Amino acid sequence: MSPEAAIPAEKNKSPQNGVKQPWVRKELAGIAAPEADICLFLEGTYPYISGGVSGWTHDLIKSHPHLTFTLISLVPPHFVGERKYDLPPNVIAQQDVKIQSLEVGDRYLSEKKKKAFFEGLERPFLHLQSKGNLDDLKAIISLMKETGVELGEEILIHSEDAWKLIVRMYSASLGNASFLDFYWTWIGLIGGLYSILLGPLPKAKVYHSFCTGYAGLYLARAAVETGRPALVTEHGIYTNERRIEIVSTEWIKERQSINLNIEKRRKERGLKDLWMDTFSSYSRITYQAAELIITLHEGNQPLQIIDGADPKKLRIIPNGIDIEAFANLPRDPSHPPTVALIGRVVPIKDIKTFIRAIGYLKQSIPDVQALIMGPNEEDIGYFEECKELVKSLDLEHVITFTGKVNVRDYFPRIDIVALTSISESQPLSILEAGAAGIPCVATSVGACSELIFGRKQENPPLGAGGRIVPLANPLEIAKEMTTLLLDKHLWTKCSEAMRKRMKTYYNQALQTQAYGQLYEQLMHEATVWQG
Amino acid sequence: MAGIGFILKKLTQREDLLGLVDAFIRASIISAGPWILTVLTLSTIMMFGRELLPFEEAFNFQSIIIYNFCFSLVLTAPICLTTTRFLADTIYAKDVSGTPGMLFGALSLVLFIEGPIACILYFGIAKLTFLMALLAVINFLLIAIIWMVAIYLTALVAYDAVTGAFFAGLFISLILTVFAALYGDDETMLASFSLGMAVIIALLITQILSEYPYPFKEPYAFLGAFREYWEVALSGLFFNMAIWVDKWVMWTSPDRLHLPNNLIIYPHYDASAFMANLITIPAMAIFLIFIETEFFEKYLRFYEEIRQGATMKKIISNQEEIWSFVLHATRRLLIAQVLVAILVIGIAPTVFEAFGINFMQLGMFRMCVIGASYQILILFLSILLWYFDNRRDALLLHIFYFISNGVLTYISMELGFSFYGAGFALSAILSCLLAAYLIEREVTKLPYHTFVTHNTSLRARHT
């Protein structure tokens, strides 16, 4: 799930200011700052990207038609995009905020105030680079308020005092690194922070963001400035995703060669650490500001705790599906033993392991049929390699690449759904197969274990709905599939467990109800006036 | 969940932290060279003219030459500096295929703007014979073309070619003009002088076409540069007007000459100013050597090491080296120039007597020597400002110099004969102080300016 790749970053000659006129529902035009029930902070997703978290957002808004929503969409500085969704009628306003873009702002601030302002910023900024917390954010917000002027690029980025602050920050943290790299890193980080703190803040009863990062920071700011309750839902773990992104960036050339002296290494933090630690701070701040921290499955929670989330605030609301659409599919009584993998033909799904597993499976069950169901044009090279592998294993009459299909047409004659991915969140294929009563064999990634074995506190325990296998282990996968295909009694037990678990815990209605209850409860919380 | 990927990506594009302006700067420095050569030639020719021709013809010739030099320089400078700056950009971008096309585009612009002005001046305002007026217009345009081509070529780092062409052309001018003075009249003198100018142009253009054998394309691409480099264009205009404005003001003094040809000059003052300029030649040479050797190396090191990942400590130490060089060099130049000025002022009476120059000029000459000494420092300091790409301050300085020179010269003129030239001297001193302040403000905060105020990438983040 990485919709950020799809954001078009064309250059456009937009005016310097980062805030375009907000879109407001026609009927409400003219009403100054209508208060919404819920204000959503969306980072680079809805309504400009389709699928993934964006689709999820659309469904969430639609499933609460009696609540009104205001949307803040955080987009890259050069962003020009088209809406991929028609905003549902209960969205009363939507506004883009360009990360890193600032208004020009006032030019003048008395020397005394300027000095106090920038010297005051130093401590919380230094904290943000290591173990920042909500108090640092509060300090920054109140310092900005105290200036009493309209802050913008002129004072915050272009003034000499701002420059001196950067130099002090550099000396205090990474005095041996390339100043040029530090400078751009810092301008990026601080520009992002300022743009969030100076962006528009619509009135709402509850604030909700769908990740930490910049959206989370916005959420924290809203909580601090309005005293209204805040809520964060994480699909993936932001800091984790950023870590991958940052580690693989090439522009930061870590100039110190690999330093074998541990002591020295500890002292010489690099710029990538600076990015990482700052984003960890943003996560921590988000978690501290939020009343509840929601994620899809238990697997994410240890990571949230590492990033500073209070375990008492953690909740799980799994994604649900339309159970009815799958529960009553008839079984096809006369079909050969059939296993299927549902997913795009891309390396992260590790299709090759599945193909090898079928090779082993065929030895124990000669008449087995296998389907690979999903679009195969995303990574043509990988698709070719897979076909090559099928040929070399002599499985051409066993394995079929169906391309993108409607899985419901195939479910009646599928006996096992397999998943060999090396990374997943909460895979839809298992939810849907499970709802149709098809046992699953999956690698132990994301929510797979919870989906197949149930959560720790599942009561009453519904039993196993299939098998969990190690990553990239075709033999083990083949063994488990053989057992399931040959042992009819086991198969039926697993099928029932899956069907029941999906119906009980992964019903879309439940997800809607859970958010509805949370919103209802938080909306009626009294405003807590903070500092 | 778009993250900071877009930010990371963008940060790799930080190419233009240093927009290399070297070619442009070199051109600005060298542009002083032809000016000096020209002043030398002019002084010589005018001296011969005065000696050998009847009074009226000599002044006819002299006034036309002065007008042509001064107005063509003022009018061409903005076009010239802007195209050269644009040319420097294309050199930096390693695409010089537009070079010949651009030159002819710029020349046509020069002719388009200055042709009508020259015609109005000589056919309308001045009272000349048709032939003389025509020769005068041709001479005006030839000189304008020379400014353009010479500076254009120095931007392409062809110093030898430029200097060679000037020597050859001016030598021809000198010989022919002297012969014309001996055996002909003012018309033949002007025609002979123009012939030498035409030789310079022919040599320079041949040089450009042979070095850049590309087809003419987009001859007017440079026009867009006026929007980006309007400060450079205005700087060129104001600096050259500042150099001349004291003469223009003095042309209104009671001692001016209103010639029968309806042009106004003030030979005593004009000649004093020309001669005074000659004494800046040694300083010019010293400055060139400073720039070419020590300064450019330190300058490049400052920017290069930033690019290569220097720490702040290193950046500051490089900056301090530049600053101590600027202080040191300015001090040495100032001392050298002041010594020369004192010497010249001291021996002026003897020289005047020896050459039979009118003693009326002595006071003015001394003031002009002081003024010219500081003027050369202003030029140097503004070139340094351009080096650091501080176009705004350079423009500010040149506007100040223009206005102060105009106003103070007027006041000194009103104060009476004994104050003639004092306005120019005082204005040059004040402007020099301003220049020193501006360069101090620039260099002592060089890292700040480099990363923030002059950093186009910083502002381009959003566009």
Query: What percent of chain B lies above the pLDDT cut of 90?
Result: 32
- E-strand spans in A76-203? 91-98
Q: Is B25 in the same domain as B163?
A: yes
So what's the pLDDT on residue A245? 65
Integer Cα distance of A253 and A236 in angstroms: 28
The answer to whether position B455 is within a domain reads: no
So what's the pLDDT on residue B390? 86
Nearest chain A Cα to B307, which residue? A180
So what's the pLDDT on residue A32? 55
A355 pLDDT band, cuts 50/70/90, is: very high
So what's the pLDDT on residue A275? 82
Q: Which of B390, B349, B342, B371 is nearest to B432 (CA)?
A: B371
Are B310 and A99 inside 8 Å of each other by CB? no
Integer Cα distance of B353 and B363 in angstroms: 14
Number of domains in chain B: 2
pLDDT at residue A33 is higher than 80 = no
So what's the pLDDT on residue A160? 92
pLDDT in tens, B194-219: 999 899 899 988 888 888 888 877 77
pLDDT in tens, A393-435: 999 999 999 998 999 999 999 999 999 998 888 888 999 999 9
Q: Is B180 in the same domain as B234?
A: no
B→A interface, C-beta within 8 Å: 1-12, 14, 17, 306-313, 315, 445, 447-448, 451-453, 458, 461-463
> Is there a contact between A492 and A421 (Cβ–Cβ < 8 Å)?
no
Q: Which of A403-412, A432-441, B333-342 has the lowest average pLDDT?
A: B333-342
Nearest to A158 among B12, B309, B452 (CB): B452
Neighbours of A464 (CB within 10 A): 18
Integer Cα distance of A162 and A148 in angstroms: 17
Instruction: Please give the backbone phi and psi of residue A340, each rounded to the nearest 5 degrees, phi first.
Output: -140, 145
Q: Return the residue matching tokens 């301050």.
A: B393
Please name the helix (run of DSSP H) or strand (run of DSSP E) that holds residue B399, with its range, or none.
helix B391-415
Q: Which residues contact A508 (CB under 8 A, 6 or more apart)?
A: A63, A320, A321, A322, A323
Q: Is B370 in the same domain as B390?
A: yes
Return the top range by mean pLDDT from A487-501, B67-81, B151-165. A487-501
| Tokens standing for residue B95 | 């695409």
Q: Model's pTM, two decimal places?
A: 0.75
So what's the pLDDT on residue A15? 36
> Is there a contact between A19 and A73 (Cβ–Cβ < 8 Å)?
no
Integer Cα distance of B121 and B108 in angstroms: 20
Q: Is B144 in the same domain as B134?
A: yes
So what's the pLDDT on residue A13? 32
Q: Which of B167, B191, B189 is nearest to B179 (CA)?
A: B189
> Is there a contact between A47 and A87 (Cβ–Cβ < 8 Å)?
yes
Nearest chain B Cα to A174, which residue? B311
Residues of chain A with Cβ-Cβ distance to B319 below 8 Å are none
Residues of chain A with Cβ-Cβ distance to B310 below 8 Å are 178-180
Q: Which of B164, B195, B227 is the last residue of a domain?
A: B227
pLDDT at residue A353 is higher than 90 = yes
Residues of chain B with Cβ-Cβ distance to A279 below 8 Å are 4
The answer to whether position B463 is within a domain reads: no
Q: Which of B206, B227, B248 is the last residue of a domain?
A: B227
| Tokens standing for residue B80 | 């010239």
| Strand partners of residue A403 | A373
Q: Is B314 in the same domain as B215?
A: no
The answer to whether position B361 is within a domain reads: yes
Q: Return the residue matching tokens 């070139």.
A: B383
Q: Is B241 in the same domain as B124?
A: no
> Is there a contact between B236 and B80 (Cβ–Cβ < 8 Å)?
yes
So what's the pLDDT on residue A2? 34
Min CA distance, B18 vs chain A (Å)? Answer: 12
Q: Is A367 helix (H, G, I), strand (E, B) or coil?
A: coil
So what's the pLDDT on residue A335? 92
Strand order in the sheet with A36-43: A23-24, A91-98, A69-75, A36-43, A204-209, A230-234, A292-295, A314-316
Return the top range by mean pLDDT from A104-113, A352-361, B411-420. A352-361
The answer to whether position B457 is within a domain reads: no
> Is there a contact between B423 and B409 (Cβ–Cβ < 8 Å)?
yes
So what's the pLDDT on residue B357? 73
Integer Cα distance of B41 and B442 in angstroms: 38
Q: Is the ipTM of this complex over 0.85?
A: no
Output the average pLDDT for chain A: 86
Nearest to A241 among B1, B458, B462 (CB): B1
A34 pLDDT band, cuts 50/70/90, is: confident
Q: Which of A220-229, A516-525, B169-178, B451-460 has the lowest average pLDDT?
A: B451-460
Q: Which of A213, A154, A148 is nearest to A17 (CA)?
A: A154
Q: Is B36 in the same domain as B84?
A: yes
| Tokens standing for residue A339 | 């296993």
pLDDT in tens, A508-530: 999 999 999 999 999 988 765 54
Output the average pLDDT for chain B: 83
Residues within 8 A of B (CB atoms), A 164-193 only: 167, 170-171, 175-181, 183-185, 187-188, 191-192
> Is there a contact between B326 and B384 (Cβ–Cβ < 8 Å)?
yes
The answer to whether position B458 is within a domain reads: no
Residues within 8 A of B (CB atoms), A 51-110 only: 53, 74-78, 98-101
Q: Is B320 in the same domain as B389?
A: yes
Instruction: Please give the backbone phi and psi of residue A370, each rounded to the nearest 5 degrees, phi first.
Output: -130, 140
Please provide the CATH number assigned to the domain covering A1-320+507-531.
3.40.50.2000
Give the pLDDT mean for B187-193.
89
Nearest to B6 among A1, A76, A170 (CB): A76
pLDDT in tens, B216-230: 777 788 888 888 889
> Is there a contact between A217 and A238 (Cβ–Cβ < 8 Å)?
no
Query: What percent of chain A lies above the pLDDT cut of 70?
Result: 88
Parallel, antiparallel or unpaired: strands A314-316 and A292-295: parallel
pLDDT at residue B49 is higher than 80 = no
Nearest chain B Cα to A276, which residue? B4
Are B10 and A77 inside 8 Å of each other by CB? yes
Q: Give CATH 3.40.50.2000 domain extents, chain A.
A: 1-320+507-531, 323-506
Nearest to B11 among A49, A75, A188 (CB): A188
Residue A397, chain B, CB below 8 Å: the answer is no
Q: At what angle do helices B55-92 and B130-155 cross, to 10 degrees?
A: 30
Residue A394, chain B, CB below 8 Å: the answer is no
User: Residue B198: which domain range?
Assistant: 1-227
Q: Is B186 in the same domain as B269?
A: no
pLDDT at residue B16 is higher than 70 = no
Residue A43, chain B, CB below 8 Å: the answer is yes
Min CA distance, A318 vs chain B (Å)? Answer: 18
Neighbours of B313 (CB within 10 A): 12
Are B8 and A76 inside 8 Å of each other by CB? no
Are A179 and B315 inside 8 Å of each other by CB? yes
DSSP letters along A280-330, please?
HHHHHHHHHH-SEEEESSGGGHHHHHHTT--GGGEEE----B-THHHHTPP
So what's the pLDDT on residue B34? 58
The answer to whether position B204 is within a domain reads: yes
Are A249 and B462 inside 8 Å of each other by CB? no
Question: For A323-506, which CATH superfamily applies?
Answer: Glycogen Phosphorylase B; (3.40.50.2000)
Residues within 8 A of B (CB atoms), A 249-278 only: 249-253, 255, 275
Nearest to A211 among B1, B11, B14 (CB): B1
So what's the pLDDT on residue B43? 72
Nearest to A178 among B8, B17, B310 (CB): B310
Integer Cα distance of B411 and B408 in angstroms: 5
Instruction: Please give the backbone phi and psi of residue B130, each rounded to the nearest 5 degrees, phi first.
Output: -55, -45
Integer Cα distance of A136 and A145 in angstroms: 14
Give the pLDDT mean for B428-439.
96
Stronger pLDDT, B439 or A181, i.e. the higher one: B439
So what's the pLDDT on residue A76? 84
Parallel, antiparallel or unpaired: strands A91-98 and A23-24: antiparallel
pLDDT in tens, A277-315: 888 999 999 999 999 999 998 888 998 999 899 999 999
Q: Return the residue matching tokens 């030029």.
A: B379
Q: Is B69 in the same domain as B204?
A: yes
Integer Cα distance of B51 and B462 in angstroms: 66
Q: Which amino acid is at A55?
A: G
Neighbours of B22 (CB within 10 A): 16
Q: Which of A366, A361, A364 is nearest to A336 (CA)?
A: A366
So what's the pLDDT on residue A25? 66
So what's the pLDDT on residue A11? 32
| Tokens standing for residue B258 | 């209103």
Min CA distance, A99 vs chain B (Å)? Answer: 9
pLDDT in tens, A225-264: 999 999 999 987 877 777 766 665 555 554 443 444 445 4
> Is there a contact between B435 and B376 (Cβ–Cβ < 8 Å)?
no
Are B8 and A167 inside 8 Å of each other by CB? no
> Is there a contact between A69 and A116 (Cβ–Cβ < 8 Å)?
no
Residues of chain A with Cβ-Cβ distance to B446 below 8 Å are none
> Is there a contact between A476 and A470 (Cβ–Cβ < 8 Å)?
yes
Q: Is B86 in the same domain as B189?
A: yes
Nearest to B1 among A9, A98, A236 (CB): A236
So what's the pLDDT on residue B31? 53
Burial (CB count <10 Å: 0-12, 13-18, 19+), residue A267: exposed
> Is there a contact between A58 and A227 (Cβ–Cβ < 8 Å)?
no
pLDDT in tens, A84-140: 888 999 999 998 898 888 888 888 889 999 999 999 999 999 988 888 899 999 999
A21 pLDDT band, cuts 50/70/90, is: low
Q: Which of B197, B227, B257 is the last residue of a domain?
A: B227
So what's the pLDDT on residue A30? 53
Q: Is B251 in the same domain as B173?
A: no
Are B1 and A1 inside 8 Å of each other by CB? yes
Q: Which of A511, A513, A41, A90 is nearest to A231 (CA)?
A: A41
> Is there a contact between A368 and A414 (Cβ–Cβ < 8 Å)?
no
Give the pLDDT mean for B78-97.
80
Give the pLDDT mean for B352-361.
76
Nearest to A53 among B1, B307, B313 (CB): B1
The answer to whether position B461 is within a domain reads: no
Residues of chain A with Cβ-Cβ distance to B6 below 8 Å are 4, 7, 9, 76-78
So what's the pLDDT on residue B428? 96
A359-396 core/surface letters (b: 16 or more CB in 10 A; e: else)? bbbbeebeebbbbbbbebeebeebbebbbebbeebebe
Give the pLDDT mean for A209-213.
91
Residue A213, chain B, CB below 8 Å: the answer is yes
Q: Where would I find the H helices in B93-185? A: 99-119, 130-155, 159-183
